[in-house]
A and B are shown apart, each in its own frame.
Chain A
Amino acid sequence: MGKPMQVARHWRHFEEKYALIGGKCENGHLMFPYREICPVCGSRNVEKHKFSGKGKVVSWTIVRNPPSGFEYYKPYPLALVQLEEGPVVLAQLTDVEPEEIDFGMEVEMVTRKVREFDEDGIILYAYKFRPVLKPQKE
């Protein structure tokens, strides 16, 4: 399989993938990922907006037959997470057993390795979500 030039391609999205920065249009519509034109009202006046990283699980699956490049990580949970500000993002869940995952489970964003390419490739990091850490009882 051919290797696209991955470095520039992923570097373009560092803000979004490391810091969960999306967009907010002049009419207050929030979006993730960032885009130049608001998908709700069509406004072209969209600013960067940083999301808190807190959210809830809307739906989830366990990927058992992954696309090539992800075989090493299988099986892994993948979820739709609704951020507390409204937009939904797709991401892997981490630090959780499959049977613990449930509808509405509260999660928070963390930065994790997503995959590695071959020896001449790069290592990709991005947001994943884990169950919200609670302080341990004394």
Chain B
Amino acid sequence: MEKPVIIGVGMVPVGEHWRVSLRDMAVEALLNAMEDAGIDKVDSLYVGNMASGSFIEQENLGALIADWAGLGNIPAVKVEAACGSGGAAVQEGAKAVMSGLEDVVAVVGVEKMTDAWPSDATRFLGYAADAEWELFHGASFVALNALIMRLYMKTYGYTEEDLAHFAVNAHRNGAKNPYAMFKKEIKLETVLNSPYVADPIKLFDAAPMCDGAAAVIITSKEKAKELGVPKEGMVELAGFWRAIDTINLANREDFLTLKAAKVAAEKAYKMAGVTAKDIDFFEVHDAFTVMAALSLEALGVAEKGKGAMLAKEGQIAIDGDYPIQTMGGLKARGHPVGATGVYQTVEAVLQLRGEAPEGIQVPDAEVGLTQNIGGTGSNITVNILRRV
């Protein structure tokens, strides 16, 4: 089956946007992407969003955003897979194009988190867990990840410092990304001296609460040519899949394996005809530092239990063997939950077009991978992008 291509990208800087609403951000990112693609209409819209109903008391985002972006009476719908909503929305847009039903599809990922009181926001993020068996007991999302981190450290003999390298790397790259929330490098001590949120996860092991929106335009190669898009303006979505795992962490066979990422990655690699060795950079879901380690293991980049070694040894830097979080990752770029998967896609496209900011462009990047996690690994998307 013919693989779809991304012909336009747009985003707004991630941050605490007190003066801007969800619809403003989504429309701006969307229009940026359409302008980038050189088009003024699309056949349909897919919105990646996790919890607009809770955060801003607004559902029906398909209608809201398509209406305010002036897209006319097109099909528009919200795609939800917790923090993995953005990556999932990109896949739904790609499927629509591959089916032949829709020619030019827009995907926008958006989340407005800072309109909610922090403890309420913590609760809303907890809705991605099992409400009756996890949130009921007072489990925050950070707490569930902390249970995993403590076990990971104990099982493989890592320290908090070992995992802190992931945060340092993310900030080093994010400092050069104008769209990142934290454009500031940090030292290991910054991470280690930050207060515990849920031991052993400290403030600087975790991604921030924030607002943001990012968008991509997806079409077929044939249609892209018809629209006059040059070859270098196209990035192929070469392989993609997603899979679920138990929603309740306690029910998982192995707390330290992201099984859903393994399944999704195997299928995506096969569809793209590549292996982990062929990938030039990885945008993994580092909502918490331990998730970056587990992701590298699930994606086949590191053996089980060795993910944190790659950070310790510096192999995840831009000039390392396995660059990750090239634009700051969730930790430094920011993690507006339902938008994150689309930000990752936009960043991968910029890398593959050679348009990443100076200092964080991966030289001669041909293939990139984005991995977007919903829940504590319960709903994971893997997308592989390739230069046409």
Residues of chain B within 8 A of A63, CB atoms compared: 138-140, 143, 198
B138 touches A126 (CB 8 A): no
Residues of chain B within 8 A of A60, CB atoms compared: 147, 150
Residues of chain A within 8 A of B196, CB atoms compared: 62, 64
List CB contacts (< 8 Å) of A19-73 with chain B: 31-33, 39, 58-71, 73
Seen from chain A, the residues whose Cβ lies within 8 Å of a Cβ on chain B are: 1, 9, 13, 31-33, 39, 58-71, 73, 76, 78-80, 87-92, 98, 103, 114-115, 124, 126
Residues of chain A within 8 A of B146, CB atoms compared: 61
A61 touches B199 (CB 8 A): yes
List CB contacts (< 8 Å) of B134-158 with chain A: 134-140, 142-144, 146-148, 150-151, 154
Specify which of A64, A90, A92 is in contact with B248 (CB 8 Å cutoff): A90
Residues of chain A within 8 A of B118, CB atoms compared: 65
Docked Cα-Cα span, A79 to B249, in Å, equals: 11
Specify which of A13, A61, A71, A115 is in contact with B143 (CB 8 Å cutoff): A61
> Could you list 29 A-B pairs, sorted by A, with CB under 8 Å?
A33-B132, A39-B246, A60-B150, A61-B146, A61-B147, A61-B150, A61-B199, A62-B199, A63-B143, A64-B198, A65-B122, A65-B198, A66-B140, A67-B135, A67-B138, A68-B120, A69-B138, A76-B138, A78-B137, A78-B138, A79-B147, A80-B147, A80-B250, A90-B147, A90-B249, A98-B199, A114-B136, A114-B138, A126-B136
Docked Cα-Cα span, A73 to B123, in Å, equals: 15
Specify which of B137, B142, B147, B200 is in contact with A92 (CB 8 Å cutoff): B137
Residues of chain B within 8 A of A58, CB atoms compared: 151, 255
Q: How far in angstroms is the closest Cβ of chain A from B127?
A: 9
Residues of chain B within 8 A of A73, CB atoms compared: 138
Q: Which of A9, A63, A79, A80 is the most central at the interface, judged by chain B CB atoms within 10 Å of its CB?
A: A63
B154 touches A90 (CB 8 A): no
A68 touches B119 (CB 8 A): yes
A68 touches B122 (CB 8 A): yes
B197 in the interface (beta carbon within 8 A): yes
Closest 10 CB pairs of A and B: A67-B123, A61-B146, A68-B119, A59-B151, A70-B138, A59-B147, A90-B250, A61-B198, A88-B250, A67-B122
A78 touches B123 (CB 8 A): no
Residues of chain A within 8 A of B197, CB atoms compared: 64-65
Docked Cα-Cα span, A78 to B147, in Å, equals: 8
Docked Cα-Cα span, A124 to B150, in Å, equals: 29
B126 touches A67 (CB 8 A): yes
B251 in the interface (beta carbon within 8 A): yes
B117 in the interface (beta carbon within 8 A): yes
For the complex, would chain B's binding face be called helix, strand, loop or mixed by DSSP majority?
helix
Residues of chain A within 8 A of B137, CB atoms compared: 78, 90-92, 114, 126
Q: Which of A9, A61, A87 is the most central at the interface, judged by chain B CB atoms within 10 Å of its CB?
A: A61
Residues of chain A within 8 A of B248, CB atoms compared: 90
Closest A-chain residue to B139, C-beta based? A78
Residues of chain A within 8 A of B251, CB atoms compared: 31, 39, 87-88
Docked Cα-Cα span, A9 to B200, in Å, equals: 33
B68 in the interface (beta carbon within 8 A): no
Docked Cα-Cα span, A56 to B143, in Å, equals: 19
A80-B255, A90-B133, A90-B250 known; A65-B140 Cβ under 8 A? yes
A68 touches B123 (CB 8 A): yes
Residues of chain B within 8 A of A61, CB atoms compared: 143, 146-147, 150, 198-201
Residues of chain B within 8 A of A69, CB atoms compared: 123, 138
Residues of chain B within 8 A of A115, CB atoms compared: 138
Residues of chain B within 8 A of A71, CB atoms compared: 119
Residues of chain B within 8 A of A87, CB atoms compared: 250-251
Given contacts A76-B138, A80-B255, A90-B144, 10 further A-B contacts (CB under 8 A): A1-B120, A58-B255, A61-B143, A64-B199, A65-B122, A67-B135, A67-B139, A67-B140, A79-B147, A92-B138
Docked Cα-Cα span, A89 to B252, in Å, equals: 10
Specify which of B122, B133, B135, B255 is in contact with A59 (CB 8 Å cutoff): B255
Docked Cα-Cα span, A33 to B136, in Å, equals: 13
Docked Cα-Cα span, A9 to B131, in Å, equals: 11
Q: How far in angstroms is the closest Cβ of chain A from B260?
A: 15
Contact mask B72-102 → A, CB, 8 Å, 1/0?
A: 0000000000000000000000000000000
B119 touches A67 (CB 8 A): yes
Closest B-chain residue to A61, C-beta based? B146
Residues of chain A within 8 A of B134, CB atoms compared: 90
Residues of chain B within 8 A of A126, CB atoms compared: 136-137
